[in-house]
Structure 1
Amino acid sequence: MTGVVGPGLWPGEDILPAQLEIFEDLSQSPTGVTAAPFLAELPERAAWATRIGRTLAVLEEVPYELGPHGWKLADRGGRDRERAQSLLTQDLEAFAIAGTGFDGPITIDLTGPWTLAAQLYLARGDRALTDFGAVGDLALSLAQGTSGLVANLHSQLPGAHITIHLHEHLIGQIAAGVLPTFSGYSRIPAVPGPTLVQHLKPLVETIKSSSARVAVNVGDAWVGIAPVVHSEADALVMDFGRSDSWNERGWELIARVVERGTHLWLGLPAPQVSQCSGPNLKNLADTLLVPWHRMGLEPSRLADTVITQSAVAARDLYHQGSTAARGSIATLKRVAEHIAERAAQ
């Protein structure tokens, strides 16, 4: 069935009420649509509660701390690591309480190894991305930690079907070699596709071996499609713009992805809203349906797609408060229902 996944990002500072809202909104869905509650990310609490802070808390045996310029590796674990791990524990407890008795799909958002290495600094140096040995260590630690996270979730929510949603939104910049060094006077060399796969694929394999699915989010970077497919992730996640934007070469790649059996998740833009008729659901659905028709893809394959929000739309809704965030989930479910109807034709 056509799916709906929330954005991960959520307004507020109290995790349990947020999770109760999310399960209430995503435990039920229209006919032909499957909705997946998610572990909320509440950045208002502090840097330790952001997605990168949560991902660092998942790592096994890697010390880190907050520095003047953001997160960095450390010689030993300290207070920042303890705070990040404490918040993750609280979040998982709230998630289990809100999802008591739940039977269905859930998603957990984490930062992928390449984007993590691009945002994390070495203890005494530049971005971790400049040291492929450090990248490998991070990927291995993330694989081990995520496997433990999945086992924890299976024990607390035995009826849940888990998908780990890995965010690799910097993969395009990493592949293009445009990320600046710490000094800003030069650029970090481009990372070739096979090397991207080298550290992504073992993580995907480990997560899948722990009885979870893997979706990899490349933002709007078409260049990220091939590494995700070669990593054998279950789903490719991409952010899409307006329905009238068209990238023929990109959609040829997506068509091949769909035809080989990799699922497609679409991050939709914010809807156009009319005071009289509300959000323009047709325009949102056409973001997928128009290029799908142009590429000659079978309508029945639409049943394997998942609808979510683009990173830009998620940030905008986050700043508008929980009412707007919950309204967006209702909109996504209605768009998914329209797509599911097309899939059944």
Structure 2
Amino acid sequence: MADEFAPIRSTGIGSWPGTDLIEALKISFDEAPELPFLPELPARGVGSQIIGRGIAVLSGLGADLQPAGWRLTDAPGRDQLRARATLRDDRDQLEEVAQDYRGPFKIAIAGPWTMAASVERPRGDRLLADHGARRELTQSLAEGIAELVDDLQRRLPALDLVVQLDEPALPAVLAGDIATASGFSKHRKVDVPEVSDSLQSVAEAVSAALRPAEQSTLPRVWLHSCARGVPVQLVHKAGFGGVLVDLDQLGTADWDAIGQAMTDGLWLGAGALSTSPATGPAAGRQWSADRVGERVLRAVRTLGLEPDVAGRMIITPACGLARFDRASAVGALRAVRKAADIVTDQLAD
């Protein structure tokens, strides 16, 4: 049975404490060697946070930072230009650190529906309120991510890039649970076909930009959401090879959808290390790799997965680690890595 699946891998989600990218990159390569990732450092400011990074990637759309948040403008504003400069600097530093690395490497960018739920139109209210603006945003984001992929592959041709779309707002968009700018009402639900088409167009643009992998069999395009109610089947049908979820947020229907999708070839990023304030490490206490491993094994048993199907799994923290201190964040990566070894050993018996 041990030959029926590859060893379970581990990685981080993306966000990381501190402001030193070189240090964070070295930790990523050391502590998540099976799938290192480009850390996001929101402590550096709004341009390095999830929406700011998405703003930096947009192609052909200008934006600026207003008191209420990011808003589209006729031309790039100072804050968007600063976010783009930070992203260029990050690529320079990645190029320096990763010169001798060959293998899979993950980057993360906000997806179109989280961007639409967070960014305002020039005349106010969220892009989510305007069908044409939603379509334009999707096209801009797809082109921008493809351009980013092209640049990274030119700089570091030995990387097998993996692209993760961060969509924490996706379930709320589908449920009609995004508040309007006034806060007195909510935006209407977006039709499922439009959501699917938007995600599919981004997935296709990114997939077309990615060179064939040389060192890895991992899916190249993933979607991450640590919210409740992730539409797993929709995501899979839209062309994503993997979905990363918070195991704490899954209900019975979610488990059924994941089990069916994994049987059909989907990979699962199992967010088994809880990052909620109630379960984070207290001073002097470490994350429990045994507990994380047991949660994943329980998920395997719940889904009734055969070992070869269970091998299509990566163990991660449930969400990003930016709110923790450096030692705790490093401990989290070590815990999920050790848990991956534990699960691999159990499945091999």
What is the TM-score when the length of structure 1 is the normalising length?
Answer: 0.90
Give the one of 215, 225, 229 matched to 2:236. Answer: 229
Is 2:121 the counterpart of 1:148? no
Is 2:335 the counterpart of 1:328? no
Give CA-to-partner distance per residue, 1:163-190, whole Å, 9 cap, x none.
1110111111111111111111111001
The answer to whether the 8 Å contact 2:229/2:250 transfers is no
Q: Output the amino acid matched with 1:238.
A: V
CA distance in structure 2 between the aligned counterparts of 1:253 and 1:281, rounded to whole angstroms: 27
Q: Which moved more, 1:332-341 or 1:319-328?
A: 319-328
What is the correspondence of 1:262-301 to structure 2 with a 5 Å cutoff? 262-268=266-272, 269-270=274-275, 278-301=286-309
The answer to whether the 8 Å contact 2:266/2:312 transfers is no
SS in 1 for 2:99: coil
Is 2:164 the counterpart of 1:160? no
The answer to whether the 8 Å contact 1:272/1:280 transfers is no
CA distance in structure 2 between the aligned counterparts of 1:72 and 1:291, rounded to whole angstroms: 41
Residue 263 of structure 2 corresponds to which residue in structure 1? Answer: 259
The answer to whether the 8 Å contact 2:31/2:337 transfers is no
Gaps of 5+ in 1: 28-34
Give me the CA root mean square deviation. 2.0
Residue 3 of structure 1 corresponds to which residue in structure 2? Answer: 9
Over 3 Å counting, the alpha-carbon distance change for 1:246 and 1:108 in structure 2 is closer
Residue 30 of structure 1 corresponds to which residue in structure 2? Answer: none
Q: Which moved more, 1:188-197 or 1:295-304?
A: 295-304
Structure 1 residue 246, shift from structure 2 partner: 6.9
The answer to whether the 8 Å contact 1:175/1:223 transfers is no
CA distance in structure 2 between the aligned counterparts of 1:128 and 1:137, rounded to whole angstroms: 10
CA distance in structure 2 between the aligned counterparts of 1:280 and 1:41, rounded to whole angstroms: 24
Q: Which moved more, 1:214-223 or 1:121-130?
A: 214-223
Give the one of 310, 314, 323 matched to 2:318. Answer: 310
Q: Output the amino acid matched with 1:237.
A: L
Gaps of 5+ in 2: 1-5, 212-219
Structure 1 residue 273, shift from structure 2 partner: 6.2
Q: Output the amino acid matched with 1:236.
A: V
Give the one of 8, 25, 28 matched to 1:22. Answer: 28
Over 3 Å counting, the alpha-carbon distance change for 1:70 and 1:296 in structure 2 is same
Structure 1 residue 282, shift from structure 2 partner: 2.9
Give CA-to-partner distance per residue, 1:261-283, whole Å, 9 cap, x none.
01111122146769999533232
Q: Which moved more, 1:208-217 or 1:177-186?
A: 208-217
SS in 1 for 2:239: coil
Residue 62 of structure 1 corresponds to which residue in structure 2? Answer: 61
Over 3 Å counting, the alpha-carbon distance change for 1:128 and 1:200 in structure 2 is same
Residue 31 of structure 1 corresponds to which residue in structure 2? Answer: none
Give CA-to-partner distance per residue, 1:232-271, whole Å, 9 cap, x none.
1010111112xxx873222111111100001111122146
Over 3 Å counting, the alpha-carbon distance change for 1:71 and 1:278 in structure 2 is closer
CA distance in structure 2 between the aligned counterparts of 1:109 and 1:275, rounded to whole angstroms: 30
Residue 186 of structure 1 corresponds to which residue in structure 2? Answer: 185
Q: Which moved more, 1:15-24 or 1:199-208?
A: 15-24
CA distance in structure 2 between the aligned counterparts of 1:192 and 1:112, rounded to whole angstroms: 17
SS in 2 for 1:236: strand
What is the TM-score when the length of structure 2 is the normalising length?
Answer: 0.89
Q: Output the amino acid matched with 1:9.
A: S
The answer to whether the 8 Å contact 2:169/2:227 transfers is no
Percent of counterpart pairs with the same letter?
Answer: 29
Is 2:246 the counterpart of 1:239? yes
Residue 3 of structure 2 corresponds to which residue in structure 1? Answer: none
Structure 1 residue 309, shift from structure 2 partner: 1.2
